[in-house]
Structure 1
Amino acid sequence: MTTNKFIGTGIAIITPFLDNGEVDFDSLKNLVNFQISNGVNYLVVLGTTGEAATLNKEEKNAVIDCVIETNNSRVPIVVGFGGNNTHEIVQQIENYQNFDKIDAILSVAPYYNKPSQEGLFQHYKLIAESSPVPVIIYNVPGRTSVNINAETTLRIARELQKVIAVKEASGNLEQIMQIIKDKPEDFLVISGDDAITYPMIQLGASGVISVIGNAFPKEFSCMVMQAIKGENKPALDTHYRLFELIKGIFTEGNPAGVKAILHQKGIISNHLRLPLIPVSESHYKKLNALREDFTVMA
């Protein structure tokens, strides 16, 4: 099972909204084209950054369809199928009709329930058995309150052939290094944290599923590919030029920060769905200043 299509930069696509709160499909199409024309390697739909938790079933299907149609097979597509009810996720997978149009699913660790490590393994075992496409697991303990530890990730990698990668957003470099050191050769470790993508690639990660890439797809994708190729001086320069911006987009929550920058660039309206809200006016101005500084430095 090839994993080459998921090396480089994947973008955790935001979901734009209109003033009335409905999904803004025109802006979504523009955003998809903006990403692809600026060199991203693949798109990730209905992740955390896409506010999937606030979309109903019909909206989710419409967003997936819109991205598939707009993409027109230009880059691979990953779709989020996750939650804390294992059997419901399996049912969603079994009921989905367009797996011939997507390349993998991304499934976040179950949140709120706080399963044991064995429970996590059994959760992903059922999902892998049900999915007709490869599975990328997503470890983000800051959101889920449970960490998929290195031993469990490695067990999943070795025993569940359908699982091809982990998106690691634990921030625990010791854990990440243990996974990279002991993983099967074809199993990918993907950064889930923009701020440490460069050092993770130096340790052996294969790339990133990015938030900041929504707003700066060309610059971030170029940095990632340079790092993968060992062109460390220009990659490190871009890493540090983007560093304050990356910190800034998460200060008042994701995707509020990156949506503010996309609004400043004229790509989307600045709307989120409750319980998320736009960044404060003062932080919006700070992000704008950081954006302008980055543009000058570029």
Structure 2
Amino acid sequence: MTEISADDTRLHEPGMGDYFALLKPRVMSLVVFTALAGLVVAPVSMHPIEAAIAILCIAVGAGASGALNMWWDADIDARMRRTAKRPIPSGRVEAGEALAIGLALSGFSVVMLGLAANWLAAAILAFTIFFYAVVYSMWLKRSTPQNIVIGGAAGAFPPLLGWVCATGSMAPEAWLMFGLIFMWTPPHFWALALFVKSDYGDAGVPMLTETNGRRSTRNHVLGYTLALVPVALAIGFTSIGGPLYLAVSAILNIRFLKGAWDIWRRDEGQAEADNYETEKAVFRQSLYYLFLHFGALMLETSLAPFGLGGW
């Protein structure tokens, strides 16, 4: 039997980077940005310190959701090339540690948001964590090809949360921002699913590409993109929109719709011939689609006092 030295053991001790990776920082960055946008464009201003604490709580809540998701999905992650190096399947963090971190951060973020902002915002954050960790991760992800469609609601709540933190209430503008992310999520993930090939099938995840076929997935990408466009443009005609947002949104949606059309026109032979270049390009485009939409909304609000933004 090979003797394991103390130095070898230390090589496998988790570091801060491993624990931070549990929180899905890339997903957290989108959550923080869209929540900040919802807070900034709201008609009621928060004190800067209270606003900063509120955004921090939302970020921690998003991280808690990520940790709970990684704890539950460790078996799936281990079978997918894209996720096999995550902290739990790679053995750097114990599953029990991830569960404890997720639960602790969930409770902390909800209570602190209630104290820093209001209890309606805290309740929405608690529901968001529950929806992502339980409804999506534990139920939808493994049971239906519509997992991304329904589960996308969890990722759509941050701008609504930011709005409620500032105002203590909901409004059509907040729900339209929710709808923008909700409708964007399916074509974003299905474009990815088209070129990650057998990853989802190997892990037993009923992604649309595996259950309905790749032709059906291409149809769905185009269909949901067509449904996304009017939601994105409608925001431009509300109190938080304006000419700048409309111009940015029109350009982004023309490009995104063109990409979805190109995906729909292709068959698998064409896609394999160029190594799924079109699908990869649409996925990359989808990554900055939301950032530019919400950035334009915040710019409209910033220019409004100078008579340059908004209607």
TM-score relative to the length of structure 1: 0.33
More helix by share: 2
TM-score relative to the length of structure 2: 0.32
Q: Over alpha carbons, which structure has the higher Rg?
A: 2
More strand by share: 1
